Chains A and B, each alone.
Chain A
């Protein structure tokens, strides 16, 4: 009996040693990384390349990249995984998803995990990008693939209309005047070319935020619990947009499709357009005319919203994994890599240090239009983001569309949007 027990004890010891032997002291840490790419296109390869580079330098960390589709798909996938108790370790999702992820109790702020130099790290990014990444004094997101709205203009059309092709409208009044001259009608009065197109399908609030910022309005508080949709500055901004089509007739009536504006611009159907910096590469490749990229025009000030995705750090992982994630995110956002990423994809480089790299300098020298987004960043503001974000945004979008299509006045639409947003946000105050 005694021997048996002793044997058993020995065997247990041996087994334990064996197990320990198979798991080396420097255990390999595995992290899952959800990344939004709609299709298996070139961006997938770029991210794969970066992940491989990280793994090479960190042999003890294994990163499993999961391509989750569009931003919409990604957040759906994340929420599903969180509720199923299998959250990813790190993910890139819309910066405006921050409150949703906080409310679902899915993420933790980077501050505690990032250690002593956290403050310095966060300070390296443009403040306008950090605006969508911080709330309640904590940093929940690290800017990665970010964009902003800029104005594209067709220099050939400017020349044809007798305007200086190198002088882009810098104020609302100038934009309106230029658009009037640029709008071309045939003998029977049908429009052959519009002065300007600003898309209003899908997510009109994003482009509208350009107007509101320029008119000196800030749409929400930092806590994401209050919005200010019905202030005079917002209503006036909306009225200006409406007037472009209704009064001045330099902008198409009704809803302008987001997806067709670049095509309209390339086809010469519109002389100017507001679009994301993400379209830079597309326009550069396909434009058969000389074009320019400019900051959005100013009214009381310059202004544009930022957009795009941040890194998030998820709850419920081991300390090693958390450390590995922070290491990974830091690695992905070094100035050098940020520059490479920006050049390869067209996203705006997120830190001043990235623009100071030699690579980036060479790129800008060759393609100066790329620097416009950077210069605009000092005027840029956070994208509209609140608790229950999708709903608040929809209330705002619906009413914007109602006003743009003439079924409500600007004032009424903004009043309705405010009332609906207040109703939704009531429970978060």
Chain B
């Protein structure tokens, strides 16, 4: 199963970092996200794209996780040569991740 089957996401930029809000479509799947979508797995998923560290914050009240990927936007903002310079599609790239149920 891929994350897209159980979660939705929105991403945005802060300088050269991108944040990805990952939200369980059904609140009962939140523990699954907590268990499966660790900072380490996200760093592995974005290897070669996120050149810095990945931090994860838990928001059980919203059934959501918030990830910060540092050094992920090729310099970020107006200096990046990336097609997706602001990381707007990176949340959807996270949803491609395979998880074990």
Report if A and B associate in a common complex. no
Residues of chain B having any CB pair with chain A under 8 Å: none
Residues of chain A having any CB pair with chain B under 8 Å: none
